[in-house]
Chain A
Amino acid sequence: MQVTFNIVRQRSTAPARVESYTIEAEAGQTILDCLNHIKWELDGSLAFRKNCRNTICGSCAMRINGRSALACKENVGSELARAQANAGDGTAVIAIAPLGNLPVVKDLIVEMQPFWDNLDAVEPYISTQGRQVPEREFLQTPAERAQLEQMGNCIMCGACYSECNAREVNPQFAGPHALAKAWRTVADARDQQTDTRLAQYNDTNAVWGCTRCYLCNEVCPMGVAPMEQISQIKRQLLARHDDQTSRPIRHRKRMVELVKSGGWVDERQFGVQVVGNYFRDLRGLLSIMPLGLRLLARGKFPLRFEPSEGTATVRSLITAVQQANQAENLPG
């Protein structure tokens, strides 16, 4: 069948343009096969990264029909089905663009240095003592190893980084790839820097900068689920710190307490307790005053709060779960 590829092409900072190539392709062909065909038969100037052709090396990540994916993993048939279901007609067009959140070098090739810098910053290596080679070998139980499996599967393709909403507005944000590796090192029984690491990751440019948009989980071709690994680090931090440590931690802790006291969250209390820290953080309190006044002026401010009729049960239920978690020495 005839398939048209609309490819975003760009040379460094020059404005991007879309070029269309129509080729004969079969449903089972990968997008990478088609790009190779275009480059080898139609236009040798088209630039893209590729290597293993087999979902191993992570080189060919790009935006395919609007989301970041590996060109060697996706195929013509499924992409056309997706495009046609949405366009509602018989169109056979596949849109290709470079990864987001990284500067374009040429066409589909992006500069990956910021991605590697972010990774390096979380020190994704087993701690120095762990790196000293023992006389025989590093011993891990199968259970300990199994904990690292999911993060170990990361092939550093950059798909998560490309879609990350937090990274889009905060260049200092560590990125989902780096934070997934951060959890991998914390979870590694051989690493001895857990405290230092957790202190480093306890930051709004690290785990607390994540907006929980789920895009990293959605695009990861290897099932690493970076957002879940970010949650694991948060869980460790919540277990170690009280609600005076920082606003993100207070946010989580007060949420649970507010649900225990009213079933539903009383938003007025949320503002006073989380942002205002019970009047201890006057600056915080002042920062939300305009919001409160605005809501008041528009008749939106919740003047009353009705607790859930199940509040007593919910309180008791949450307490029981908290006690069980503590008894098992788990966070929570």
Chain B
Amino acid sequence: MKKLNSLRSRATMPTSTLRYAYFPGCVAQGACRELYQSTALLAATLGIELIELKRAACCGSGTFKEDSQLLEDTVNARNIALAEELNLPLLTHCSTCQGVIGHVDERLKAAQRDDPAYLERVNGFLNNEGCSPYRGSTEVRHLLWALVGDYGLEALAAKVQRSLAGLNCAAFYGCYLLRAQDSIPYDDPWQPESLENVFRTVGATPVYYRGRTQCCGWPISSYSTEASFQLAGKQYQDALNNGADCLVTPCPLCHLQLDSRQPEIGSLLEKSFNLPVLHLSQLVALALGCEPKALGLDRHVVSTQPVLAKLGLT
């Protein structure tokens, strides 16, 4: 595990229970419920406490800003303020939610210093609706960063019950996780390593390929379908050419595109990719000994059987 040395990762077991204000997002409560279940199982197995933000709302997935910046900032200031009420960091498990809410947090923290009138305006809206004000007192963290930075890879390694040795995992980070924020912890947006380090920790082998930091095509899939599918097809081919057994993504929107639409993408490009796509939570929970069915691995569009077979789990 040579990469672990160069990574700013927590070296010892967390001394107290990690607690987060959990922002589930739309997709994990809709077409990717297997992600919701897997994150819950993963957290329970690691002893991480998730307090779900039942009153939160959709981050807008980057489209609110196209309508108005004030709209994106206000809706997400409220989301962050819900976590602040609990005095907890806000946990996402979606690259898009992370990029959007994380960047709003950066913008509003900057406004506290440079443009207090703007923050006052945002908080004025919140106040009128009886919401707590945004205080800039917490952080927005993706589950991936929580695993690497808060829980720590050494601590995670100690919990591995079932090594995923022999499984070639190709990371698919998602644009918003890498590039929507002004800065991100632990990773170089051009050559990220956090997912690859998680793969090594659970015994799997990371597959390096250009597509891992590129776009899946999802945002334009409802109207520029062919271009969107071409983009996804390029990333599959790249991953397969480099020996991937599966893609692993920390973004359910990428998952919707890369898993649910893979048959259509295959028909368009006249190729049968058969490339299973796992959620980050599923992969880690699998290594912690959770049962594939409990992780919803039987509810993917592209069968995950080849992955399970390679791990001797069928």
Q: With an 8 A cutoff between CB atoms, is A48 at the interface?
A: no
- Select from chain B the residue with minimum beta-carbon distance to A312: B129
CB A93 to nearest CB in B, in angstroms, measures: 13
Tell whether, in the assembled complex, residue A263 and residue B264 are in contact, meaning their CB atoms are under 8 Å apart: no
Tell whether, in the assembled complex, residue A321 and residue B57 are in contact, meaning their CB atoms are under 8 Å apart: no
Contacts of B231 in A (CB 8 A): 165, 168-169, 211
Contacts of B129 in A (CB 8 A): 313, 316-317, 320
Which residues, 141 to 187 on B, are CB-close (under 8 Å) to A? 175-176, 178-180
Contact residue range for chain B?
Answer: 35 or more
Interface 9-residue window, one of B11-19, B58-66, B278-286: B58-66
Evaluate whether A86 and B188 lie within 8 angstroms (CB atoms) in the complex, with A287-B225, A295-B260, A309-B55 already known: yes
Q: With an 8 A cutoff between CB atoms, is A266 at the interface?
A: yes
Distance of A274 Cα from B64 Cα, bound (Å): 16
Interface of A (DSSP majority class): helix
Tell whether, in the assembled complex, residue A66 and residue B31 are in contact, meaning their CB atoms are under 8 Å apart: no
Contacts of B128 in A (CB 8 A): 320
CB A304 to nearest CB in B, in angstroms, measures: 9
Tell whether, in the assembled complex, residue A321 and residue B3 are in contact, meaning their CB atoms are under 8 Å apart: no
Tell whether, in the assembled complex, residue A170 and residue B224 are in contact, meaning their CB atoms are under 8 Å apart: yes
Evaluate whether A211 and B54 lie within 8 angstroms (CB atoms) in the complex, with A300-B31, A317-B131 already known: no
Binary B-proximity of A183-210 (CB < 8 A = 1, otherwise 0): 0000000000000000000001000111
Tell whether, in the assembled complex, residue A251 and residue B227 are in contact, meaning their CB atoms are under 8 Å apart: no
Contacts of B57 in A (CB 8 A): 259, 263-264, 308, 310-311, 314
Distance of A267 Cα from B228 Cα, bound (Å): 19
Distance of A82 Cα from B190 Cα, bound (Å): 10
Binary A-proximity of B34-77 (CB < 8 A = 1, otherwise 0): 10000000000000000000111110111111111011001100
Q: With an 8 A cutoff between CB atoms, is B220 at the interface?
A: yes
Tell whether, in the assembled complex, residue A168 and residue B55 are in contact, meaning their CB atoms are under 8 Å apart: no
Q: Which of B32, B54, B189 contacts A218 (CB 8 A)?
A: B189
Evaluate whether A331 and B234 lie within 8 angstroms (CB atoms) in the complex, with A66-B190, A208-B220 already known: no
Tell whether, in the assembled complex, residue A218 and residue B56 are in contact, meaning their CB atoms are under 8 Å apart: no
Contacts of A67 in B (CB 8 A): 190
Q: With an 8 A cutoff between CB atoms, is B219 at the interface?
A: yes
Distance of A328 Cα from B55 Cα, bound (Å): 29
Tell whether, in the assembled complex, residue A332 and residue B71 are in contact, meaning their CB atoms are under 8 Å apart: yes
Tell whether, in the assembled complex, residue B188 and residue A238 are in contact, meaning their CB atoms are under 8 Å apart: no
Which residues, 59 to 90 on A, are CB-close (under 8 Å) to B? 65-67, 82, 85-86, 88-89
Q: Which of A88, A218, A295, A324 contacts B31 (CB 8 A)?
A: A295
Tell whether, in the assembled complex, residue A82 and residue B224 are in contact, meaning their CB atoms are under 8 Å apart: no
Tell whether, in the assembled complex, residue B63 and residue A252 are in contact, meaning their CB atoms are under 8 Å apart: yes
Contacts of A264 in B (CB 8 A): 25-26, 29-30, 57-58
Tell whether, in the assembled complex, residue A263 and residue B58 are in contact, meaning their CB atoms are under 8 Å apart: yes
Q: Which of B60, B66, B175, B193 contacts A259 (CB 8 A)?
A: B60
CB A236 to nearest CB in B, in angstroms, measures: 10
Distance of A320 Cα from B57 Cα, bound (Å): 16
- Select from chain A the residue with minimum beta-carbon distance to B74: A321
Contacts of A324 in B (CB 8 A): 70, 125
- Select from chain B the residue with minimum beta-carbon distance to A230: B66
Contacts of B33 in A (CB 8 A): 300, 302
Contacts of A255 in B (CB 8 A): 58, 60-61, 63-64
Q: With an 8 A cutoff between CB atoms, is B93 at the interface?
A: no
Tell whether, in the assembled complex, residue B190 and residue A65 are in contact, meaning their CB atoms are under 8 Å apart: yes
Q: Which of B67, B131, B189 contacts A235 (CB 8 A)?
A: B67
Extra contacts besides A217-B179, A265-B30 (7): CB < 8 Å = A170-B224, A238-B67, A252-B63, A255-B63, A295-B301, A314-B78, A317-B131
What 3 pairs between A and B have smallest CB-CB spacing? A310-B55, A332-B68, A214-B179
Binding site for B on A (CB under 8 A): 65-67, 82, 85-86, 88-89, 165-166, 168-170, 173, 204, 208-215, 217-218, 231, 234-235, 238, 246-248, 251-252, 255-256, 258-259, 263-268, 274-275, 287, 290-291, 294-295, 298-302, 305-306, 308-311, 313-314, 316-318, 320-322, 324-325, 330-332
